[in-house]
Chain A
Amino acid sequence: MNDGPILLVEDNPDDVILTKRALKDANIANDVIVARDGVEALECLRGEGAHEGRDTSIMPEVILLDLKMPRMGGLELLKMIRSDESTKLLPVVILTSSKEERDVIESYNLGANSYIQKPVDFDQFAVAVKQLGLYWLLVNIGPFGGQ
């Protein structure tokens, strides 16, 4: 199992709690780092600002990314992640309310690895989180070979 942290970029605290609970239910014990928007997420990846001093040699196993957030949204953040040498290979899963076609297409265009619409029913949500956790944390061989 890849035991690096999961970076959850999400501005809605309800969704943060529900996502964490779903991960726990799915027996995924990886650390969850929460960033409340794109700017915070970048600071975390670079060890700056609120995340000053974070060991940047430890990169997230997977980034779960909401789209609509204050300051810097998910698509803008994704663009920056993909254009930065140190982060461009990180698996990014879009996890969002919307299934608007333009969001889906734009996400894949910018290099998202997966796109998941948050289901309203918690059971389904838990299943979705579990599956993505299983895939990205167990099956997938990450760019950094599992730290």
Chain B
Amino acid sequence: MTEGLKEISAKVLIEAVPDPVMVLDSRGLIVAQNAACRKLFGYALRDIAGKHLLDCGLASTYSLKEMRSAKRNFSDAIKEDKGFALEYEFVTKKGRSVHVLLSGSTLKDVEKKTTHIIVLLKDLTERKRAEEAVHQSEKQLNQIFNATADGMRVVDKDFNVIRMNDTLASMVGVSIEDAIELKCHDVFSSALCHTANCPLTRILRGEERVTMDIDKETPAGVMIPCIMSATPFKDSRGAVIGIVEAFRNITERKNAEKALLQLTEELDQRVKKRTQELAAANQELEAFAYSVSHDLRSPPRGIAGFSMAVLEDYSDVLDETGRDYLKRTHEGAVRMSELIADILSLSRVSREEMHSEEIDMTALARTIAGELRRQEPRRDVKMAISDNLRAYGDKRLISLVLENLLGNAWKFTSKHPSAKIEFGAIEQETETVFFVRDNGAGFDMRYVDKMFIAFQRLHHADEFEGTGVGLAIVKRIISRHGGRTWAEGSVGTGATFHFTLSSKGSEVLT
């Protein structure tokens, strides 16, 4: 074969190679390139012929020093004479950065002297980019993996920990590097390890998700209550190759729950104890009231009965003073009996069960007013009772409230020539305030606090009769309904008594 033919054959051969190929002379200067190489760098042969291969675009990314060492390496590789593979980053004519793997071998003449170097250039740019992308995504995945407050790990089919995040590492007190060498049950175990209910075993049996509250134990023996969630870890073809486990430490929540439970129990106990005490006190009160009701009422009845019998049957053997004394004896016994009756009704008001219902306050007040008029038909009292007053409460007890308040108004206006009694309500934002107003004797505001206390009176018996229990009954009934009672007045101009009932359900219909 002639030299020319050899050359032609070599050219044809080089052109035929689909990968970029360059031919250098023995000093590393470019002699020829094929079409693929032209395409890679974008240079025509005349642009680069006679240049050092590494001068075709390396300059912009390599420093001069790097450049020198690169060329030296390249020259050394060529001299080594046994093929080489070197990777460089080039910049193409159009400015694109390409990673290229240079590999090649030397051509020698008959005297074993290097004549040419054949260089195969492999464009690694795409692969580099893919590698970089994988690296990036791996980094991002790690960031996410480590950012979560849940401890997470990946376990393969053979119970090996193949991945673990920082949260789990600090939770179990084992470094990630150490954990990767270990079995899952040696890093974070539970009562389910080595049983058929092991989450990995369940996932491998085909479950898509396993979630449970579980007590996990660290290698140091610390128990950590967790919410655990396990899902299959699959390869690119979708085959299950392990599991991803996430552990949420719920120690604090468990402790809070425990504390709450304890608190509730304590509270429960306290309520129970108080209820028992209250029940005992109530029972005592009940027994006391029952006894009072039967036994304490008999003696005054005897005194009243016999003093009256003497007055009636033996009046003629007594003088005026004797009869006066007996009358006083009789009155005293009657009064004592009234006091006992009032104590009983006050205690009854506290003891009786309540049955709440809608009450027509207007109708109730009118009935009571009618009864008052019937008892003293001669009195001229102007009664103004508002229409459509409604409330929610125990009808019998509320009726007792109105009887007392209207009865008081009736009583304390008895000396007034043109008595007036009003019953109405003021609608306020959150509640309805009922009131009973009169223009009677009134009272001194200095003593207003005493008025609602049982057996406290602001008037003498010879002015207005009574035992001083009525307002105490009113107050107790209203407070049992969750409401308030208060009064305003002044001597000689009358009094106003206000009360509210529990705001719920109480309303004035207009």
Contact = CB atoms under 8 A, between A and B. Distances in A.
B302 A18 contact: yes
Interface in A104-125: 118-123, 125
Nearest to B337: A120
Interface of A: 12, 14-15, 17-18, 21, 67-68, 96-101, 103, 118-123, 125
A98 B305 CA distance: 17
A122 B352 contact: no
Interface residues of B, number: 21
B302 A14 contact: yes
Given A97-B293, A100-B289, A123 B308 contact: yes
19 contacts: A17-B306, A18-B301, A18-B302, A67-B294, A68-B294, A96-B294, A97-B293, A97-B295, A97-B298, A97-B301, A98-B293, A98-B297, A99-B293, A120-B297, A121-B304, A121-B308, A121-B334, A122-B308, A123-B308
Given A120-B333, A120-B337, A121-B334, A100 B305 contact: no
A37 to B, nearest CB: 14
B304 A122 contact: yes
A122 B298 contact: no
Contacts of B309: 18, 21, 122
A18 B55 CA distance: 142
Interface in B184-213: none
Contact of A15 (B290, B295, B302, B337): B302
Contact of B294 (A21, A97, A120, A125): A97
A97 B308 CA distance: 19
A102 to B, nearest CB: 8
Nearest to A11: B298
B308 A120 contact: no
Given A98-B290, A100-B290, A100-B293, A14 B306 contact: yes
A29 to B, nearest CB: 18
Interface in B310-356: 333-334, 337-338, 348, 352
A127 to B, nearest CB: 13
B424 interface: no
